Amino acid sequence: LNQVSNILKKHNLRNTDSRVDILSLFLNNSKALSHSDLENSLPSNFDRVTIYRTLKSFVENGILHKVPDDSGNPRYALCNTCTDHNHNHDHVHFKCEKCGNTTCIVNLNIPDFNLPKGYTTSEINILVQGICKNCN
Ligand SMILES: [Zn+2]
Ligand SMILES: [Zn+2]
Ligand SMILES: [Zn+2]
């Protein structure tokens, strides 16, 4: 719980039940969580709107980032390498075809894309699918 309070404090967010519970779930999971994962893991007194708002404020405050998903259901994962001033989510996300878990793989270099003239990059999303180390 201390780790949770420290993160909230660092981002100037008040400790509320929903923030503490939702952040704890992310800290206890190494995988990215979707809205419905959260709904299923949280006590039933959490309504969808509260979850939605909490996720939104975590993303805005640099605690979580959105993880692309081919199903169209966004997932969220903790920001590990971000600082308040430097958000960089240009890392590889790996989705396991067996267990369905998506994990951030941050220590991989993403190649520099040579885009055609006239194109500029603002964000790179790489979703790699395969079998994760737990299922292999
Ligand atoms: Zn971030
Ligand atoms: Zn797996
Ligand atoms: Zn990530």
- Alpha-carbon span 129 to 136, nearest angstrom: 13
- Encode pLDDT of 35-91 as tens digits: 999 999 998 888 899 999 999 999 999 999 999 888 888 899 999 777 767 777 888
Residue 22 pLDDT? 96
Q: Give distance in angstroms: CA of 79 to centre of ligand 1.
A: 4
Q: Decide if 51 contacts 38 (C-beta within 8 A).
A: yes
Helix/strand number for the chain, H first, E second: 4, 6
Residue 1 pLDDT? 65
Residues contacting residue 24 through CB under 8 Å, at least 6 positions apart: 1, 4
pTM of the model: 0.85
Residue 115 pLDDT? 92
Q: Give distance in angstroms: CA of 15 to centre of ligand 1.
A: 20
The sheet with strand 64-67 has its strands ordered as 33-34, 75-78, 64-67
Q: Decide if 121 contacts 84 (C-beta within 8 A).
A: no
Q: Give distance in angstroms: CA of 96 to centre of ligand 3.
A: 14
Residue corresponding to tokens 């890392």 = 91
Residue type, 62: G
**DSSP state at residue 70:** T
Q: Give distance in angstroms: CA of 79 to centre of ligand 3.
A: 7
Note the ligand closest to the C-alpha atom of 64: 1
Residue 135 pLDDT? 97
Note the ligand closest to the C-alpha atom of 30: 3
- Encode pLDDT of 75-132 as tens digits: 999 997 777 677 778 889 999 999 999 999 988 888 778 899 999 988 888 899 999 9
